[in-house]
Amino acid sequence: MILAPGVMGLVSYILFIVGDLMGEFFYLLSWLLWPAGLIGGLVWSFTKGNKYFAYGLLTALVGVPAVLFLALIVMLVVFLGL
């Protein structure tokens, strides 16, 4: 669950830094790396039979943002007293 998104994050960060030096094309590659990597990883892992890798990617793609969104809702409810 951590290794593949971590590697994609590192490569995305490196492309972003190179984009500062060389131009906007590397910014675009940095932003396109995440959807291509996650979708490609899901397709590859389900077709090759490595379902646990796919579940880890789905957790990174769906689970983590959902938990963070729920934490935001809880924070708003607590701070605003709704």
| 82 C-beta neighbours (distance < 10 Å), count | 7
Task: Tell me how far apart the alpha carbons of residues 51 and 59 are, in angstroms, rounded to a whole number.
Answer: 12
Torsion over CA of 9, 10, 12 and 16, rounded to 10 degrees? 130
For residue range 3-15, what is the model confidence (pLDDT) as tens digits?
777 888 899 999 9
For residue range 29-81, what is the model confidence (pLDDT) as tens digits?
999 998 898 888 889 999 998 888 888 888 878 888 899 999 999 999 999 98
* Helices 24-48, 51-58: crossing angle, 10 deg rounding: 140
* Residue extents of the structural domains in the chain: 3-80
The number of residues making up the chain comes to: 82
What pLDDT does residue 60 have?
79
pTM, two decimal places: 0.64
